[in-house]
Structure 1
């Protein structure tokens, strides 16, 4: 499968270039770029440096998700649930890592802290109208397509 090229700049010599865990992984692991281990207290959020900047191509975005093992086993996940990195952003990638557990959690230098999925985005224009096209679901909200 052909791969989209993304230019990466290391902002710190300790930074680790994102890697994929397997051939068909959707998300590339992002690594903590820290001088020393940092502890995140229960309920606390800390900005964790990655030490890298990227050129995400126009028409794409980088979506930053939790690493499933880190979130399920240790309660560490991005505070905003899914971070969105736009194609025109050129600053350092940072992860606002939140501790959802009841125990302090240490993050080590070089530890995998999140994963990034690069995905196409569709630019749209919004048009105000008086009425919307009817559908079977209509205005049914949360859970409206589930059990009766």
Structure 2
């Protein structure tokens, strides 16, 4: 699938690093470093603008190494880029670690995954079909 992209970041385009990769690294597009103190958030630009085809969405996901090693993750869990959005991709990072974290120009800050989705139409009913699980949730199968 071809996706149109505008790159104003002076960084290479995102790319898959291995044949099995589902995500591509997004890099910071900064003129000066950004320091994120513990439990603070920062909006980091990427300099990328994309045109996602209808029926698909872009998901911005955290990088596991940043989370494990530095406590840096996405403040919104997973960011959604709708197919009709044409603005710059920006990443909301939060520092859940104990130390200041500096984001520099070109740092890999998140991953971009393109996902197909289905739109639904709700059908209002009085009851739902029964399943073995039923209403069980929140640890009902044990530890």
Using structure 2 for the length normalisation, give the TM-score. Answer: 0.95
8 A contact 1:65–1:115 mirrored in 2:
yes
What is the CA deviation profile of residues 93-121 of structure 1, one whole-angstrom value per residue up to 9, with x for unaligned ones? 00000001010000110010000111110
The 5 Å alignment of 1:108-147 reads 108-144=104-140, 146-147=141-142
> SS of 1:19's equivalent?
coil
Q: How far off its partner does 1:14 sit?
A: 2.4
Is 1:27 the equivalent of 2:23?
A: yes
Distance 1:13 1:113, change over 3 A: closer
8 A contact 2:9–2:48 mirrored in 1:
no
Is 1:8 the equivalent of 2:5?
A: yes
Tell me which moved more, 123-132 or 15-24: 15-24
RMSD: 1.3
8 A contact 1:16–1:33 mirrored in 2:
no
Tell me which moved more, 48-57 or 19-28: 19-28
Q: How far off its partner does 1:141 sit?
A: 1.6
The 5 Å alignment of 1:2-81 reads 4-10=1-7, 12-81=8-77
Using structure 1 for the length normalisation, give the TM-score. Answer: 0.92
Distance (Å, rounded) in 2 between the aligned partners of 1:22 and 1:122: 28
Instruction: Give 5+ residue unaligned stretches, structure 2.
Output: none
Q: How far off its partner does 1:21 sit?
A: 2.0
